[in-house]
Structure 1
Amino acid sequence: MRADEAADAVARLGRALAGAEARRDAVGAAIAARAAVVAEAKGRLAQRDAVDACLRDLQQDAHQRSLASFETLLTALVQEVLPGEKPVSLELATERGLPALDIGLMRPDGGREDVLEDNGGAMTNVVGMALRLIAVVKAGVGRFLALDEADCWIAPDRVPAFYRVLEDGAARLGVQCLAISHHDLGAVAAGMAVSRVAGRPATGVAIDGPAAACAAAWAPDQPGFRFVRLVDVQGFADATLPLGPGVNALIGPNNTGKSTVIRALRAVFYGEARDGLVRAGATAARIEIGVAGGRTLRFVRQPRRSPVNLWSLHEPDGSLAVERGARLETGGRDVPDWVDRLFGIRRVEDLDLHVAHQKFPVFLLGEKPAKRSAVLSIGREAGIVRDMQAIQRERVIDDQRTVREGEREITRLREVALGFADLDGIALAIDSLRRQAGALAQADDRLRRIEARAAGLGRLSAEHRAAGLRDAAFAGLPDPEAAAALGRTLAEDRHRVALGERLLAASRDRRAAEARAAILAALPSREPVPAGYEAAALLAATGGRCPACGAPAAAAHLLDGHRASPGEAA
């Protein structure tokens, strides 16, 4: 292998080694980074029990404070409606590691009574109404409360106190209320907006209410619902229930459709709509709710069409409202986010706070103790603690996954790193090869210089031999003066040779001329005629020309010395 080839091979090995070292360093850095992440996750997991205990303590403390405020408010409300009744007692316990709330009444002897099981409907409804009112306020969302007829059932002599407490609480807490009742509330409270249903579902139920008074009670941008309009909704062909800012009541005989308003509200805000909501013979049911700014929230249930439910918000002129470039119109089975965001009526902690359910009229009291405690989680402080617990649970899951996946990744990376264990030995070998390649390059350079010098010596030797031959050739030559004399002699000899050659030529020419002259002198003055000579035969032999001068001649004149003309010869 030549030195340059060896150097290229070593350079390629060096580049490959550098790449392998870079990968080894990257793998090492990845192992260190992943190990640090795993160590942090293990550290957090090691503190898991302490963090969980701290959050439970915070939750317990928040629940205890909520418990005290609930207990005080409930006792005050109950005794306002039902004077002389026992104080409400709330007891927080733990079931299967979860908080559990027991709602009862405290007897004078220190014993406790269950509100739902050990008391009448009046106590149950008052406590349920009070719990719902407090929960709506603590939730910090839409301040609207709709109570169905069963929620408002109470002895006739307690009706004024019940609605007085409801009115006072709504006014103090800024909650708009709608109560469905079979009581005649005309003389209960002058400030309450009371509407009545009339007619039968078969022929169309109408609503008679103080529409003008309700409309006049609102400021244009004041939050709250101005009216509920039902078009082809069960027994209602087209009826409007006016609503004021405080407590509103809808009264009338049983089975006239009062609870249809509750079902309509649950359809709009909870998405609980069925085809049975549509009036017999109609193609769709439409619910319209007047809101702040003259807008109208509209819900349409349209069986056998897509979408089956359609929510939309309309401006006072009837056009669709637009928010951030998007039209507020959404179809589907789930309540749109913008309805929840704009009006804040939704389930909180999986509890129906705002709109009572006709079939489950007793709020919270009929639930299991573990679900009852959800009401204590309503509110800012409890919500923050609950969010912290959810974050902690998610973090624990993430940390467990991080440790599990991280340790697998570290194991894999370490196996990869084993493939780079011989890099140091390879580096030493490449260094040795690099030195050998350098020595080979130096030797090759010396060899090239030697070869160049040898070639130069060969040229010098050849030139020396040629010079020796020239010296030998010039050794027998005369000196310059003799050579010059010799040159002059040679030049003179060449001149003499040339003169001699000219003399010889002249001598030859002279002798030839003398020979011709001798021949001519011996000729007769006239040509003799040879015996038996015939001119015609002679001319035939010469081709019609004179044998002496070669000119054309005629046979008659050949011997007379007459030269025939070209015409005569012819």
Structure 2
Amino acid sequence: MDCSELDELSERVAQLSGLAASRHQEYLALASERAQLDRFLELAPRAVTTLEELSTRLFGEILDEIESNLTHAVREVLGQNRTVVSERRTVGNRLQVHFSIHSGEDPDHQEDILRGQGGSVANILSVGLRLIALSQLDPYRHRPFLVLDEQDCWLKPELVPRFMQLIARIARRLDLQLLVISHHPVDTFASAADRILELVPNQDEGPRVRCRPLREKRLADPNGPEPEEEANVASVD
């Protein structure tokens, strides 16, 4: 073996030594990264449990506030000492909530909200939950507008004004526009509505819309024209 071959072998050994050192450093880096991943995976079950506990606690706090708000609404509209409560449980890693009501004197006797007070409670809670949901939305991404179609259908006519006044106060606080569709007499909305449109049947010309002046406007101008004379009547296609 001559000198040139020895030099070539020496150069080859040096290259292999450098490559071995580089591969060793890569191995150490990968081993360190794997150790970090193993430690993270060991923490994952505890982290999931902790997050579930925090989520449940936060959800419980939110539900407590919702219960309080809905209880206030039920008492204000119905004028009765009723309390809204929620039953919370986890099914398939998902939280489920069932609402019920009970009287202040008998908390052990709970009523289903769909049947309680002839459906009046269902009307109130349905609207209340919608308003709560809207209050949590980003106003820059969602238009603050809500349509309530026959959401007072099970309420007694004498309770409708109080119900609408409560909704109107909340809507103003949330800067929310409401459109309420109802079969109740239009006068029951005079104390809460900004504008009332009445759909009037007409056999000859078809249904027509009549704009009714608000009660406050009539009281402010008792000498003004009668509602039928002042009404802006337009055909409905």
Contact 2:113 2:119 in 1 (8 A): no
Contact 1:105 1:115 in 2 (8 A): yes
The reply to whether residue 77 of structure 1 matches residue 73 of structure 2 is yes
The answer for the alignment partner of 1:149 in structure 2 is 149
CA distance in 1 between partners of 2:150 and 2:122 (Å): 10
- Taking a change above 3 Å as real, the CA distance of residues 152 and 28 of structure 1, as seen in their structure-2 partners, is farther
1:139 to 132, 137, 140: 137
Contact 2:186 2:198 in 1 (8 A): no
The answer for the alignment partner of 2:223 in structure 1 is none
CA distance in 1 between partners of 2:68 and 2:101 (Å): 12
CA distance in 2 between partners of 1:62 and 1:187 (Å): 39
The answer for the alignment partner of 1:332 in structure 2 is none
- Structure with the larger strand share: 2
The answer for the alignment partner of 1:125 in structure 2 is 123
Which structure 1 residue ranges, 4+ long, deviate > 4 Å from structure 2? 197-200, 203-210
The answer for the alignment partner of 2:109 in structure 1 is 111
Contact 1:160 1:188 in 2 (8 A): yes
- Taking a change above 3 Å as real, the CA distance of residues 187 and 113 of structure 1, as seen in their structure-2 partners, is closer
Q: CA deviation at 1:198?
A: 6.0
The answer for the alignment partner of 1:163 in structure 2 is 164
The reply to whether residue 53 of structure 1 matches residue 55 of structure 2 is no
The answer for the alignment partner of 1:192 in structure 2 is 194
Give, as a single letter, the amino acid of the residue that structure 2 aligns with 1:98: R
TM-score, normalized by length of structure 1? Answer: 0.33
Q: Tell me how large the CA RMSD over aligned residues is.
A: 2.9
CA distance in 2 between partners of 1:101 and 1:120 (Å): 22
1:102 to 58, 79, 98: 98
2:34 to 13, 21, 38: 38
Q: CA deviation at 1:44?
A: 1.2
CA distance in 2 between partners of 1:126 and 1:161 (Å): 11
Please give the per-residue CA displacement for 1:101-149, whole angstroms capped at 9, x wherever unaligned: 1211124332322212555222111110011111211334436242342
CA distance in 2 between partners of 1:101 and 1:68 (Å): 12
Between the aligned residues of both structures, percent identity stands at 23
TM-score, normalized by length of structure 2? Answer: 0.74
- Taking a change above 3 Å as real, the CA distance of residues 7 and 93 of structure 1, as seen in their structure-2 partners, is same
Q: CA deviation at 1:183?
A: 2.6
1:26 to 22, 29, 39: 22
Q: CA deviation at 1:42?
A: 1.1
Please give the per-residue CA displacement for 1:340-373, whole angstroms capped at 9, x wherever unaligned: xxxxxxxxxxxxxxxxxxxxxxxxxxxxxxxxxx
Written as runs of structure 1 = structure 2, the 5 A alignment for 1:162-311 is: 162-186=163-187, 188-190=189-191, 191-197=193-199
CA distance in 2 between partners of 1:13 and 1:172 (Å): 86
SS of the counterpart of 1:102?
strand
CA distance in 2 between partners of 1:90 and 1:128 (Å): 14
- Taking a change above 3 Å as real, the CA distance of residues 70 and 20 of structure 1, as seen in their structure-2 partners, is same
Count of aligned positions: 206
Structure index of larger Rg = 1
Structure 2: 5+ residue stretches without partners: 213-235
Q: CA deviation at 1:81?
A: 1.3
CA distance in 2 between partners of 1:84 and 1:184 (Å): 24
Please give the per-residue CA displacement for 1:416-442, whole angstroms capped at 9, x wherever unaligned: xxxxxxxxxxxxxxxxxxxxxxxxxxx
Give, as a single letter, the amino acid of the residue that structure 2 aligns with 1:131: L
Contact 1:133 1:145 in 2 (8 A): no
SS of the counterpart of 2:23?
helix
CA distance in 1 between partners of 2:207 and 2:23 (Å): 78
CA distance in 2 between partners of 1:189 and 1:93 (Å): 42
